[in-house]
């Protein structure tokens, strides 16, 4: 499973890119607002740091303007992935942009039917929002499982990009369910490495090593 960082904080992205664990980045209007920077400027900087796909989202809601904005974003770098909402205009724009050779990330997916439409439109990624479904007492992981079955039934190339990930269990369950990508904030990736038994074991080893009086 690929790991994408869900942030527009360039310093965080640069730090995580050095770990070798980062496969791409997703952004959205809210993250761009939080960065306080111009969208084209920050996306260009991110694309210089990350070799993988970097999602930049259009702000338009109609087909023609989505196309114009998508094409403008695609000029930033070769690894830009145009992020579009799952609406009729968004699906139509997705098909056109894919036919023109661009990658797309169809966002705000909350049903298997929506994901099926994205695959039919040729979307590169579909982004089911797990956490937001959980907030409504709906099992977000069940959606990942349903999409995986549908995509496998018909050999669709669209990748499942699990989004709105909030816990380390979300990451594990997405991997078990067969999601292709998990996008998450830096804080969640940091928690993946943590385990109290690892910390306790390391402390014991270091204490014993100190007693040997040796150096390597």
Q: How far is CA 156 from CA 80, 97, 106, 121, in A?
A: 22, 18, 15, 10
d(CA 117, CA 180): 18
Count the alpha carbons within 13 Å of 130 in the hemisphere toward its beta carbon.
27
Opening angle at CA 43, ends 66 and 11, nearest 5 = 150
CA dihedral of 99, 100, 105, 109, whole degrees rounded to 10:
-40
Longest dimension (CA), the chain: 71
Place of tokens 């705000």: 108
d(CA 111, CA 130): 11
Identify whether 83 is a catalytic site residue. Answer: yes
Q: Which letter does DSSP use for residue 163 in this model?
A: B
**Residues 34, 75, 78, 83: which is the catalytic one?**
83
The catalytic residues are 83
């Amino acid at each position: 499973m690929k790991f994408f960082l869900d942030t527009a904080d360039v310093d965080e992205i640069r730090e995580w890119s050095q770990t070798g664990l980062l496969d791409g980045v997703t952004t959205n209007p809210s993250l761009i607002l939080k960065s306080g920077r111009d969208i084209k400027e920050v996306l260009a900087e991110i694309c210089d740091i990350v070799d993988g796909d970097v999602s930049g989202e259009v702000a338009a809601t109609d087909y023609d303007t989505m196309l114009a904005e998508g094409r403008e974003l695609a000029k930033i770098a070769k690894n830009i992935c145009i992020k579009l909402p799952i609406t009729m205009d968004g699906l139509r724009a997705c098909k056109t942009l894919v036919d023109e050779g661009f990658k797309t990330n169809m966002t705000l997916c909350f049903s298997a039917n929506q994901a099926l439409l994205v695959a039919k439109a040729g979307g590169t990624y579909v982004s089911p929002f797990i956490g937001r479904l959980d907030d409504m007492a709906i099992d977000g992981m069940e959606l990942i499982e349903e999409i995986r079955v549908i995509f496998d039934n018909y050999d669709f190339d669209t990748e499942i990009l699990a989004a709105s990930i909030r816990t380390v269990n979300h990451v594990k369950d997405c991997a078990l369910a067969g999601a292709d990508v998990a996008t998450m904030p830096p804080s969640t990736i940091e928690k993946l490495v943590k385990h109290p038994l690892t910390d306790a074991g390391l402390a014991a080893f270091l204490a014993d090593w100190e007693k040997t009086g040796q150096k390597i």
